[in-house]
Structure 1
C-alpha cells in the first residue's frame, strides 16, 4: 500500500497520473503486476501540511508499505526511479519529493482472509 500526501491544490490535479507513474515504477523495479495497485491520496490544506524549509508547495510525501524481502539495491532503485519519473512527468524537483519505504514482516500483512506468509499464490516475487 502506498500513501501520498501533499497540498490539496497541488496534489488533486495530478493524482491520477501520479498514481500511474508510481505504479509504473513499482512494476518495472519490483515486478508488480498491473492489478496490484493500492494507492491512497491524502490531499491536505496548507494549514495542515507543514514541510521543511527550502521546499515549495509542490512538496510531496510518498510512503511505501511493503512486505519485507526486497534487497537494498532494489529499494534504492525504486526510490531513484520515482525521483526521476516524477520529475520528468510533473517537473517536481527531487528536493520536493520525500519517499520512505516501510517494511513489515510477511506475517504482519493481512489480506484475502490470511496473513502474507500464508499466501502462496502471489503473482509476483517479494524477494527481489
Structure 2
C-alpha cells in the first residue's frame, strides 16, 4: 500500500498536476513494482503566503510525501527517490532544488482498507521488494 501527498503553490502546481501525477505513478510502478491500476495521489494547493520554502528553492517548489507499508528495502526506496528526481526534472521541468521527497512507513497492521487491516488482506503486488 502506498499513498502520495503532493504539496505546492496553487498557481504553479495546478497546471502540472496531471503530468506530475503520471510521472510519479510511473516511478512507483517501476521502483515499487505496483500494478498500473494502483494510484492514490492527493494534491494540496497552497497560497504563496502559506508555503514557506528553503532559500534554494523557487516558487515552483513541491513536497512529495509517500505513505507506505513497511517492507521495501533501502535500495528500492533509493531507486524510487532517484527515479523521481530524474524524471520529474526531465519530463515536468522542475529543478531538483524544487523537489523534496519524504517516505514515511508504518507497519501493515496500522493500515485499514477494504474492511481489513493491511496485515490481514491479500494484495495483488509485493511489499517486500
1:124 aligns with 2:125: yes
Partner of 1:92: 94
The whole-number CA distance in structure 2 between the counterparts of 1:105 and 1:23 is 22
The whole-number CA distance in structure 1 between the counterparts of 2:88 and 2:108 is 29
The whole-number CA distance in structure 1 between the counterparts of 2:93 and 2:36 is 25
Structure 2 gap ranges (5+) = none
| Residue in structure 1 matching 2:24, options 22, 42, 56 | 22
The whole-number CA distance in structure 2 between the counterparts of 1:55 and 1:16 is 22
- Structure 1 position 89, deviation (Å): 0.8
Moved over 6 A (4+): none
1:90-122 Cα distance to aligned partner (Å, 9 max, x none): 2211111000000010000000000000012x1
Over the aligned positions, Cα root-mean-square deviation in angstroms equals: 0.6
The whole-number CA distance in structure 2 between the counterparts of 1:23 and 1:54 is 27
SS of 2:119's partner is helix
SS of 1:92's partner is coil
Give runs of aligned pairs for residues 46-61 of structure 1, distance below 5 A: 46-61=48-63
The whole-number CA distance in structure 2 between the counterparts of 1:54 and 1:17 is 24
| Residue in structure 2 matching 1:12, options 11, 14, 20 | 14
Count of residue pairs the alignment pairs up: 127
